[in-house]
Structure 1
Amino acid sequence: MGDKNPPRTLRDYSQPSHEGYRNTIELPEGNNVVPLRSDTIRLVQNGCAFHGLPSEDPNQHLKDFLKLVDSLDLNVENREGTRLHLFQFSLRN
């Protein structure tokens, strides 16, 4: 019988694959259309951009992002959906 988990070489680990992975941000069911203004998107892009550099702290980026987004006058009923839609604009490269 075939082995379900064949041994992997070091080369296999050095070349990761995205096969089988899903997007980690899952939007809530229902009407998840959130109107975003271009100035709000630019504010997020310029106010808390994360480039993934070794010198950047991802936890600090999340704190800065939430602080910036929570300072905006957003629809309280759909705040989480708006955060999810805006987060992608805070990531660079």
Structure 2
Amino acid sequence: MGYENPIRTLGDYSRSSHEGYRNTIELPEGNNVVPLRSDTIRLVQNRCSFHGLWFEDPNQHLKDFLKLVDSLDLDGENREITCLRLFQFSLRD
């Protein structure tokens, strides 16, 4: 039995769908997760948002994001976990 492709209309393609997609950022397992503060999330959203527009440089976005995370003064293991958790808030639209 092969994969069947259902017939879709143009209207079907115009609606966004997250079905079948999974988060590509995989957090380490365990109970060592530091809670994110709402002001930290807002800081990331306000200071280094990336919209994926043609004129935006994704490499510069990563540099700006990492510079911002460095300013949070986190220790080693918590820094990496917090960085992974915060990155999704820097992506917009």
TM-score by length of 1: 0.72
Tell me by how many angstroms 1:24 deviates: 1.5
**Is the counterpart of residue 92 in structure 1 residue 88 in structure 2?**
no
Tell me by how many angstroms 1:28 deviates: 0.8
Which sections of structure 1, spanning at least 5 residues, go unmatched? Answer: 6-14
Q: Which amino acid aligns with 2:29?
A: E
Task: Report the RMSD for the aligned CA atoms in angstroms.
Answer: 2.7
Corresponding residue of 2:57: 57
2-structure distance, mates of 1:32, 1:19: 30
Contact persistence 1:34–1:85 (CA under 8 A): no
2-structure distance, mates of 1:23, 1:41: 18
Tell me by how many angstroms 1:20 deviates: 5.5
TM-score by length of 2: 0.72
Q: Which amino acid aligns with 2:46?
A: N
Which sections of structure 2, spanning at least 5 residues, go unmatched? Answer: 4-12
Aligned length in residues: 89
Contact persistence 1:44–1:65 (CA under 8 A): yes
Q: Which amino acid aligns with 2:47?
A: G
